[in-house]
Amino acid sequence: MRLRHRKPLQQANAHPGALRRAIEMRSPLADWSGTRELKQEDVRRLRRLWDEGKASGRPGPLDFHALRKEARRKLAEAAPKSC
């Protein structure tokens, strides 16, 4: 249990009825904390990908016909084979 979640539970022991409220708050706090950590991880991942893209060099002309053809080939290879 995280330290910041422990304090409300400790305080609840000193006050009748407060334990139930502290337990009711524990789940939303854990959900919020987990969601926040996931968002921070997403931001780190996007920053890393952005940096990799910038470091890969200057953009050049693209052949969209060739890109679509390659994407279709990869999709066909990844598709499950039917008997």
> What distance in Å separates the CA atoms of residue 34 and residue 37, rounded to the nearest whole number?
5
Give backbone dihedrals phi and psi of 25, rounded to 5 degrees, phi first: -80, -25
Q: Which two tokens stand for residue 59?
A: 């953009």
Q: What is the pLDDT of residues 20-72, one digit of tens each?
A: 676 677 777 778 788 888 888 999 999 999 999 889 888 888 899 999 999 99
**Residue among 2, 9, 43 at smallest CA distance from 24:** 9
- CA atoms lying within 13 Å on the CB side of residue 10: 7
22 touches 12 (CB < 8 A): yes
Whether this model's pTM surpasses 0.75? no
